[in-house]
Amino acid sequence: MKKTFFILLAMSILFSGCKTKQNQMGDNPFFADYGTPFEVPDFSKIKTEHYLPAFEEGIKQHAAEIDKIANNEAPATFENTLEAMDKSGALLDKVSSVFYNQFSANTNDDIKAINKEIAPKLAAHSDNINLNAKLFQRVKTVYDEQKELNLTTEAKNDQALNTEQTSLLDKVYNGFVRGGSNLNEADQAIMREINGKLALLYPKFGENVVNDRNAYALVIENEKDLSGLPQSVRDAASETAKAAGKEGKWMFTLNKPSWIPFLQYADNRELRKEIYTAWMNQGNNNNENDNKEVIKEILKLRLQKAQLLGYNTFADYAIDNNMAKTPENVMTLLTKLWDAALPNTKQEAKELQAIANKEGDHIKLESWDWWYYTEKLRKEKYALEESEMRPYFSLANVQAGAYELVHRIYGIKLIRRTDIPVYQEDVEAWEVQEENGDHIGVLLVDYFPRASKRGGAWMSSYRKQMGSGDDFVSPVIVNVGNFTKPTANEPSLLSLDEVQTLFHEFGHALHGLLSNVKYSSISGTSVKRDFVELPSQIMENWALEPEMLKIYAKHYETGEPIPDELIAKIQKSGQFNQGFITTEYLAASILDIKYHMLDNVKDIENLDVLDFEKQAMNELGLIKEIIPRYRSTYFNHSFGGEGYSAGYYVYIWAAVLDSDAYQAFVENGIFDRATGESLRKNIISRGGSDDPMKLYRNFRGADPSIEPLLAKRGLK
């Protein structure tokens, strides 16, 4: 069974709408080869009206394929059941990948409308597969036979599956069980109803966040209110205002490259408070975009689903499928890190208050002050300002650095292509090749914010890698971000956070691009959720290494490499503000877990979301100068789908892995090709084809240690 249909609801990030007109099959580009280089979707020919007919035909074809597999009179085998399922649904995968990627990165009212119509149909189709008794029986037959074979004393057996086949079988079998195949008929009907409701609630949550984000703008008319802001930030705000029809003014939005620099540099405290309050109240304005009741309904349905399947809480259900296995294991790690980080955070707060006192500001530090005084403290401690670093981090140079890194450690190269279709003028297309010129895949990059794109940064696929030999299908991967846009006077100049985000998402892209497994369902990033961040987060370790900075950090005007003095400052400040960074993240992770450890439907129905959040943070001892990285009402990771629900912890879980794994490069040389090839062979290319801890041990030779992470963050 393809991953698309086992985690369909997790893919549904933001949806709503109405019906579109039908189109003749012969005119629909989804019903034939695209005829483009490497079969990249032909975005110029794909029209809104093509989606719904393609979805409906894709569902029809996939249902027929599944029916044929389920009713096959031949005894169930891996090939005629599991492998056949993995190959099924090609058209539905084709249209789904384009539609949902456009929905997230380039949406419009028509696309939202189509989703409202198709999301329940896709949920029902997924349930029709997960709850197909004949199909499940065939899968179970193969599963039980293999289990029996594993109990035999024979070292080898011609009937035994290889590691990759076993991984696919385990994933499919567990997917059926977690999808409700073992439930009785009445409970299966309830499961269908729950999944149908969630299919509409997830997109509603996300759309509410986007609507609130797009509805807000801080428009400044008096230039005095720009005091403290660097010229580059002013120029960007001026261009934003001009694009909105407010020429001669300055406009700041809730897109990250806009509101964060304002918080860092604006001297006007009341305006900092205004934009920060707007940010932290997304989905919490008691209007048509309010998410508090949506959260309660999602939590209630998730708990009902988990308890139908025999779990006490949704957290138990979600984490059982991860490396961590139990919420208790997760909380053990998070609590250990919290106890280490909180003292640092309190000390940082004291230092920031001291800076404010020293400057005679006569304020009591609040959350909207943290960024502002952090920049002042950075300058005082390290003679370093972020505005001083940005000129060396042009987007083009950072990209070139990331590409040079993977050439050195993996022997691959990226070549800009202008003949490959893209879906928006800001998008770039790159062909990825082996050192000898063999084609690997295509990478699309889409880095600038716009109203049609949700916030954040992510990697996705338009086509996953699959097959082998003559049947090998190369991947088409996309990286999406919301980085600082170029202005009339400057190219896109990135912050340190944006630099690391680019490296991070490129790591996810490599996980998809360098995949080399046979089965689509376990290729690329189709791994356990708390393992998927390892390939991305390990890339961040290189971003600010002195040797790496010398390669790509060049002044956008002069081309001069970053000075050694500035590198030394960056290195010296490496653990600066880590208490805040770690604590705000952990607060959100623990909030996510606590919501999903609720075990009584009545309690959820009577839940006051804001009170629950406040109580959870008070129990933790979170200082009032900080809020969770994501408050409940705009916590898309938790409530915008099932992918990261009860799973926001995975970034820190994987941070243990990536910090330990990077030590292999520290020990052997950060550009050591042999170490890179080992990482590629044992982890990056393997997808979900084996147990993740086994893959890790194959690379590192031992279990991961938490010590490198604590040392890196200065938490020891």
Both 623 and 559 in one domain: the answer is: no
Question: Percentages helix, strand, coil for the chain, rounded to the nearest 5?
Answer: 60, 5, 35
The pLDDT score that the predictor gives to residue 157 is 63
Please report, for the domain that includes residue 445, its CATH number: 1.10.1370.40
Question: C-alpha 483: how far from its chain's center?
Answer: 15
Partnered with residue 415 across adjacent β-strands are: 431
Query: Is position 679 within any domain?
Result: no
**Contact call for residues 593 and 620 (beta carbons, < 8 A):** no
Both 422 and 519 in one domain: the answer is: yes
Task: With residue 111 as reference, give the H or E element that holds it.
Answer: helix 109-130
Q: pTM of this prediction?
A: 0.92
The CA–CA distances, whole Å, from 275 to 112, 216, 454 equal 28, 9, 19
The pLDDT score that the predictor gives to residue 284 is 98
Instruction: Tell me the per-residue pLDDT of 68-84, one tens digit each, with 9 for 90 and over.
Output: 999 999 999 999 999 99
For the residues of 43-100, what is the DSSP string, one character each? TTT--HHHHHHHHHHHHHHHHHHHHHHHT--SPP-IIIIIIHHHH--HHHHHHHHHHH
Both 507 and 630 in one domain: the answer is: no
Both 21 and 99 in one domain: the answer is: yes
* Mean of pLDDT values over 296-311: 98
pLDDT exceeds 60 at position 10: no
Both 488 and 422 in one domain: the answer is: yes
The pLDDT score that the predictor gives to residue 173 is 98
Q: Which of 156-165, 258-267, 616-625 has the lowest mean pLDDT?
A: 156-165
Query: Is position 487 within any domain?
Result: yes
Both 545 and 419 in one domain: the answer is: yes
pLDDT exceeds 50 at position 11: no
Final residue belonging to a domain, choices 244, 260, 280: 280
Please report, for the domain that includes residue 320, its CATH number: 1.10.1370.10
Query: Is position 693 within any domain?
Result: no
Both 352 and 451 in one domain: the answer is: no
- Dihedral angle of Cα 100, 101, 105, 107, to the nearest 10 degrees: -40
The pLDDT score that the predictor gives to residue 544 is 96
Percentage of residues in the chain with pLDDT exceeding 70?
Answer: 95
Please state the domain count of the chain: 4
Query: Please, what is the end-to-end C-alpha distance for the chain in angstroms?
Result: 45
Query: Is position 419 within any domain?
Result: yes
**Contact call for residues 453 and 105 (beta carbons, < 8 A):** yes
pLDDT exceeds 60 at position 505: yes
For residue 377, the enclosing domain spans 292-384+578-648
* Mean of pLDDT values over 136-164: 84
What is d(CA 12, CA 4) in angstroms, rounded to the nearest whole number?
11
The pLDDT score that the predictor gives to residue 25 is 66
Both 524 and 539 in one domain: the answer is: yes
Query: Is position 448 within any domain?
Result: yes
The pLDDT score that the predictor gives to residue 158 is 67
Both 235 and 338 in one domain: the answer is: no
What is d(CA 195, CA 191) in angstroms, rounded to the nearest whole number?
6
Instruction: Tell me the per-residue pLDDT of 29-83, one tens digit each, with 9 for 90 and over.
Output: 999 999 999 999 999 999 999 999 999 999 999 999 999 999 999 999 999 999 9
Sequence-distant (≥ 6) Cβ neighbours of residue 57 within 8 angstroms: 25, 31, 91
The pLDDT score that the predictor gives to residue 715 is 83
* Mean of pLDDT values over 269-294: 98
**Active-site residue set:** 505
Both 401 and 541 in one domain: the answer is: yes
The CA–CA distances, whole Å, from 208 to 13, 132, 533 equal 11, 35, 27
The total number of residues written for the chain in this structure: 716
pLDDT exceeds 60 at position 692: yes
pLDDT exceeds 50 at position 698: yes
412 phi and psi, to 5 degrees? -115, 160
Instruction: Tell me the per-residue pLDDT of 624-682, one tens digit each, with 9 for 90 and over.
Output: 999 999 999 999 999 999 989 999 999 999 999 999 999 999 999 999 999 999 999 99
**Contact call for residues 34 and 41 (beta carbons, < 8 A):** yes
Secondary structure (3-state) at 567: helix
Confidence band of 716 (pLDDT split at 50, 70, 90):
confident
Instruction: Tell me the per-residue pLDDT of 329-366, one tens digit each, with 9 for 90 and over.
Output: 999 999 999 999 999 999 999 999 999 999 999 999 99
What is d(CA 665, CA 675) in angstroms, rounded to the nearest whole number?
7
* Mean of pLDDT values over 130-141: 97
Both 642 and 551 in one domain: the answer is: no
Confidence band of 154 (pLDDT split at 50, 70, 90):
low
Secondary structure (3-state) at 143: helix
* Mean of pLDDT values over 502-516: 98
* Mean of pLDDT values over 188-198: 97
Q: Which two tokens stand for residue 608?
A: 């006051």
**Contact call for residues 94 and 476 (beta carbons, < 8 A):** no
Both 37 and 85 in one domain: the answer is: yes
Final residue belonging to a domain, choices 542, 572, 602: 572
What is d(CA 382, CA 438) in angstroms, rounded to the nearest whole number?
46
Instruction: Tell me the per-residue pLDDT of 545-593, one tens digit each, with 9 for 90 and over.
Output: 999 999 999 999 999 999 999 999 999 999 999 999 999 999 999 999 9
Whose tokens are 């109803």? That residue is 193
Query: Is position 698 within any domain?
Result: no
The pLDDT score that the predictor gives to residue 181 is 97
679 Rama sector, left if φ>0, alpha if ψ -120 to 50, beta otherwise: alpha
The closest of 593, 652, 637, 657 to 314, measured between CA atoms, is: 593
Q: Which two tokens stand for residue 70?
A: 């389920």
**Contact call for residues 180 and 308 (beta carbons, < 8 A):** yes
Instruction: Tell me the per-residue pLDDT of 364-392, one tens digit each, with 9 for 90 and over.
Output: 999 999 999 999 999 999 999 989 999 99
The closest of 94, 118, 123 to 18, measured between CA atoms, is: 118
Average pLDDT, the chain: 94
The pLDDT score that the predictor gives to residue 150 is 79
The pLDDT score that the predictor gives to residue 149 is 86
Final residue belonging to a domain, choices 648, 668, 692: 648
Query: Is position 110 within any domain?
Result: yes
Confidence band of 714 (pLDDT split at 50, 70, 90):
confident
Query: Is position 55 within any domain?
Result: yes
